[in-house]
Structure 1
Amino acid sequence: MTDRPKESPGVFQAHLREAAAGILERFPEASRREIYALSFNIWRIDYDDRRPYVAIGYNTEGQYERERRPDDPGEARWNYACWLLDGFETLGNVPEDPAGGPLYVEEIKRLGLWYDGDDVEVGADDVIDAQRDLLNLHFADACIDLARHLHDSGRIEQLFGRPLPVVVFDMDCPGWEIEATEAANPPELIEDFLTWQRAAEEA
């Protein structure tokens, strides 16, 4: 997840970019003015690393006000545990993305990351564990690239009338959202997010 030269997206990445723009366009009109951050929530069906997806959502000022506490308003604003998390559209190797699933499988097979078997025990095979790590890294990179593209193309600003930070997180990897969100956004958009994260680490 480092800066790399720009290159043409692969077929799966191109699908993510087009489909994600459509998801943003379908966000409720009534919520758009209240949205202060977008969310990329990475997860997997049945904890299977071959079936990852990202739920593309948002948090609103109204949700923040409902969750905030006087002693730590930043917690409610930037901790995804306090955010709206349900009911958002998903992309990846999931039934809800019938075009993206086959493209994802094709890509990871081409990269040599696919493995067969439905009941491989965690830790039972070092090779499988390494492939799982690579699968997770591959999908995380795809989501970070997607966020960068939505910024660089101006799509977020076009749709919402202003730039918005994209907070990228995986509830199975607490703490990773700092690295991921830094990689996914222009620095000026996440100053408040990082300030709260640093304060939380020091507490």
Structure 2
Amino acid sequence: MSFRQHMAQMAARTLAEFPEELISDIYAVTFRIDSVDQDPRFPYLAIGYNTEAQVAQANTETEYTEAWESRWNYAYFPPSGLEGVRVIGHDPAHDPVGSDLHLQEAVAQGLWYAEDDEGGLSEQEQDERGEALAEQFRELCVDLARQLHEDGQLVGVLGRLLPVILYDMFDPDEMFAMTRSANPPELVTEFLSEDPQEQSQV
């Protein structure tokens, strides 16, 4: 099994773990892209959701929160949208199978490196490999979200089309581009209304 296949299987399994009693209240699936100890060699994806009830609570608790912020800004997401339901990827504590597969493929691609390897790569070369690993993982996460739409898995679990909101904790500005790429346009119109790129074209 490839790392991509593993991630797809685990993403589908995670959707099935969303609480049944909340399904009708969920308005977005969340993909938080992060890495263990801020190390790009160990990227992971936390898959979760946000609900209308959580937005209403955020609006009540934060007097001056704008409607878009409480609904779409991950800074206001509850644990279900931040920590998610399940963590998958190269996180040995949460996904040992994914960790092994990712390591094998990173080694095969010549992208793996050891920080304490005497006589090994320079710091710049390590940074370049880390950036390549991070970019590959971001692209994979976008593809996973697309696949959930195209295969009908989101509708199958949630009963309707909902957006997948992607955000990278190390590159917050990329959330608009990734989310745009991962979803049918009609699902992310409201989310993209605050995209600086969209606003600059108006």
Normalising by structure 2, report the TM-score.
Answer: 0.87
User: Per the alignment, do residues 71 and 127 of structure 1 end up closer, same or farther by CA in structure 2, a change over 3 Å counting?
Assistant: closer
Q: Secondary structure at the match of 1:138?
A: helix
1:92 is aligned to 2:83: no
Structure 2: distance between partners of 1:181 and 1:87: 17
Q: Secondary structure at the match of 2:41?
A: coil
The one-letter code matched in structure 1 to 2:191 is F
CA RMSD of aligned residues (A): 2.2
Matches within 5 A, 1:50-89: 50-68=41-59, 72-84=66-78, 85-86=82-83, 88-89=85-86
The one-letter code matched in structure 2 to 1:155 is Q
Structure 1: distance between partners of 2:117 and 2:54: 40
User: Per the alignment, do residues 87 and 190 of structure 1 end up closer, same or farther by CA in structure 2, a change over 3 Å counting?
Assistant: closer
The Cα of 1:117 is off from its aligned counterpart by 1.9
Structure 1: distance between partners of 2:197 and 2:175: 15
The one-letter code matched in structure 2 to 1:75 is E
Assess if the C-alpha contact under 8 Å between 1:170 and 1:177 holds in 2.
yes
* Residue of structure 1 aligned with 2:135, choices 134, 137, 143: 137
The Cα of 1:119 is off from its aligned counterpart by 9.3
Assess if the C-alpha contact under 8 Å between 2:49 and 2:84 holds in 1.
no
Between 26-35 and 191-200, the greater mean CA deviation after superposition: 191-200
**What count of residue pairs does the alignment treat as equivalent?**
190
Structure 1: distance between partners of 2:139 and 2:14: 20
Q: Secondary structure at the match of 1:90?
A: strand
Q: How big is each residue's C-alpha offset from its partner over 1:169-188, in whole Å with a ceiling of 9 and x where there is no partner?
A: 11221211011111111111
* Residue of structure 2 aligned with 1:176, choices 174, 177, 180: 174
Q: Secondary structure at the match of 2:195?
A: helix
Assess if the C-alpha contact under 8 Å between 2:18 and 2:85 holds in 1.
no
The Cα of 1:88 is off from its aligned counterpart by 2.5
The Cα of 1:197 is off from its aligned counterpart by 3.1
Structure 1: distance between partners of 2:108 and 2:157: 35
Where does the alignment leave 5 or more consecutive residues of structure 2 unmatched?
A: none
Relative to its length, the structure with more helix (as a share) is 2
Matching residue of 2:110 = 112
User: Per the alignment, do residues 135 and 179 of structure 1 end up closer, same or farther by CA in structure 2, a change over 3 Å counting?
Assistant: same
Assess if the C-alpha contact under 8 Å between 1:23 and 1:89 holds in 2.
yes
Structure 2: distance between partners of 1:118 and 1:28: 43
Matching residue of 2:156 = 158
Structure 2: distance between partners of 1:175 and 1:114: 27
Q: How big is each residue's C-alpha offset from its partner over 1:78-101, in whole Å with a ceiling of 9 and x where there is no partner?
A: 101111223521000112112111
* Residue of structure 1 aligned with 2:21, choices 22, 27, 30: 30
